[in-house]
Amino acid sequence: MATIIYPDQLPGRIEAHPVYSDDQIVQMFFATCQRSKYTVRNYTRAINQFRSFIGNKSLKDVTWKEVEVYGGSSLQRQ
C-alpha cells in the first residue's frame, strides 16, 4: 500500500521562483547598473542584437552553445 504525503507534511517550505519576462530580466539588469548613458546605450544595442540572433526563443531557454555561437559570429562581424 502506497503512503500519500501531502504538501503540508513536507519539511520546510518550498518557495516557487517567480517567472520573469525577458523584458523584466533586462530591466532588472539595468537597474543594477549605475553606468554612463553610453554604456547603457551600448549594452542595449548588444542585448537587442543577441535577442535578434536567438529569434523568438526566451532568454531562459538559450543554451550555452548558442551564446558561444553568437560570440564567435559577433567577433567575425567586427
Give 16-65 pLDDT, tens digit per residue: 677 889 999 888 888 887 778 898 899 999 999 999 999 999 988 999 99
pLDDT of residue 55: 93
Q: What pLDDT shows up at residue 64?
A: 92
Residue 9: the pLDDT is 59
| First-last CA distance in the chain | 66
**Residue 78 confidence class, pLDDT cut points 50, 70, 90:** low
The ranges assigned to domains in the chain are 22-55
In this predicted structure, what is the pLDDT of residue 35?
Answer: 76
Residue pair 34/9 in contact by the 8 Å Cβ criterion: no
Q: What pLDDT, on a 0 to 100 scale, did the predictor assign at position 12?
A: 65
Question: Which three three-digit cell numbers place residue 44?
Answer: 542595449
- What is the pTM for the complete model shown? 0.64
